């Protein structure tokens, strides 16, 4: 098995799966094009995460990461929850295969997006704007292709080459995102790239 026992355990019995209809904040990241999509719903009381639910379209790692993030964050203050990083999630899960590390980024990102959504709603209430149901934010990345990290041009199909800016790309073995071939470090995660 490519995954740790802990990952498989969370995949088999994920915590906090579901939807909160009257959520205080909703965060959605990823898109089906690149493989994973996560939606986090939060209920907040006295600056603490009282309840978290999530839904995930994605691989075993993505499901386990979502579950782990929800378990790590529930009961925490918003500030503490914002401090949850992809590294800490991957560590809690007993490690992830290198090419799946980007899933752990998504998990923390989705939670953080939900918290930011909650804060935005708080601000607009303070400003006296009409309270009530704020629609969940449209995911920024939805319906997008995979993008070149340099010019944001779409990367299609088999290409490891950006046709917009003509940069040759390779996948960072650390975070799985595209970075420029021949660079010393990954543009996304900063990891040192192995030289051939």
Partner 1 sequence: MRRIYLDHIASTPVHPLVLEEMLPYLKERFGNPQSLHADGQEAMAALEEAREKVAGLLGAESAEVYFTASGSESNNLAVKGLALAQREKGNHLVLSAVEHQSVLHAAKSLEKLGFTATLVSVDKQGRVDPEEVRRALRKETVLVSVMLANGEVGTIEPVAEIAEICRSRKILFHSDAVDAVGNIPVNVKTLGVDALSLAAHQFYGPKGAAALFLKKATRILPLIDGGIQEGGRRAGTENVAAIVGLGKAAELAAAEMAARGLLQSGLRDKLMVELPRRVDRVVLTGHPVERLPHHASFCVEFIEGEGMLLGLDMKGIACSSGSACTSKALKASHVLLAMGLDHALAQGSVVFSLVDGTTSDDIGHLLEVFPPVIDRLRKMSPLYTKYLEEKGQ
Burial of 61 (0-12, 13-18, 19+ CB in 10 A): buried
Contact residues toward partner 1 (CB under 8 A) are 3, 8, 11-12, 14, 17, 19, 28, 32-39, 55-63, 99-100, 102, 146, 157-158, 171, 176
| Residues 6 or more apart whose Cβ sits within 8 Å of residue 37 | 28, 29, 30, 31, 56, 57, 58, 139
| 103: annotated active-site residue | yes
Query: Given the complex with partner 1, which of 32 and 94 has the nearer CB atom?
Result: 32
| CA distances, 173 to each of 75, 80, 179 (Å) | 34, 29, 10
Q: Among residues 103, 148, 162, 175, which one is catalytic?
A: 103
State the nearest-atom distance from the C-beta of 139 to partner 1, in Å: 10
| 148: annotated active-site residue | no
Q: Among residues 34, 59, 146, 189, which one is catalytic?
A: 34
Query: Given the complex with partner 1, which of 123 and 166 has the nearer CB atom?
Result: 166
- Cβ-based neighbour number of residue 131 at 10 Å: 9
State the nearest-atom distance from the C-beta of 47 to partner 1, in Å: 27
Query: Given the complex with partner 1, which of 59 and 82 has the nearer CB atom?
Result: 59
Q: How far apart are CA 64 and CA 60, in angstroms?
A: 6
Partnered with residue 30 across adjacent β-strands are 37
State the nearest-atom distance from the C-beta of 167 to partner 1, in Å: 16
State the nearest-atom distance from the C-beta of 125 to partner 1, in Å: 26
Query: Given the complex with partner 1, which of 30 and 81 has the nearer CB atom?
Result: 30
Nearest to 72 by CA among 90, 56, 99: 90
* Calculated CA dihedral for residues 116, 121, 126, 130, nearest 10 degrees: 160
Which residues are catalytic, by number? 34, 103
């Amino acid at each position: 098995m490519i995954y740790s026992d802990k990952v498989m355990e969370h995949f088999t019995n994920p915590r906090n799966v579901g939807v909160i209809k009257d959520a205080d904040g909703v965060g959605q990241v990823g898109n089906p094009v690149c493989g994973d999509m996560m939606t986090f719903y939060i209920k907040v009381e006295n600056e603490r995460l009282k309840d978290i639910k999530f839904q995930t379209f994605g691989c075993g790692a993505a499901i386990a990461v979502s579950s782990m993030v929800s378990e790590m964050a529930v009961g925490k203050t918003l500030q503490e929850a914002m401090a949850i990083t992809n590294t800490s999630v991957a560590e809690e899960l007993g490690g992830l295969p290198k090419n799946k590390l980007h899933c752990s980024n998504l998990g923390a990102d989705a939670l953080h997006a939900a918290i930011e959504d909650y804060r935005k709603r708080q601000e607009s209430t303070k400003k006296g704007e009409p309270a009530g149901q704020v629609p969940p934010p449209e995911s920024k990345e939805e319906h997008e292709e995979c993008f070149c990290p340099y010019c944001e041009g779409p990367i299609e199909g088999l290409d490891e080459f950006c046709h917009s800016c003509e940069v040759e790309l390779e996948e960072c073995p650390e975070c799985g995102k595209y970075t420029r071939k021949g660079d010393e470090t990954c543009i996304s995660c900063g990891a040192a790239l192995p030289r051939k």
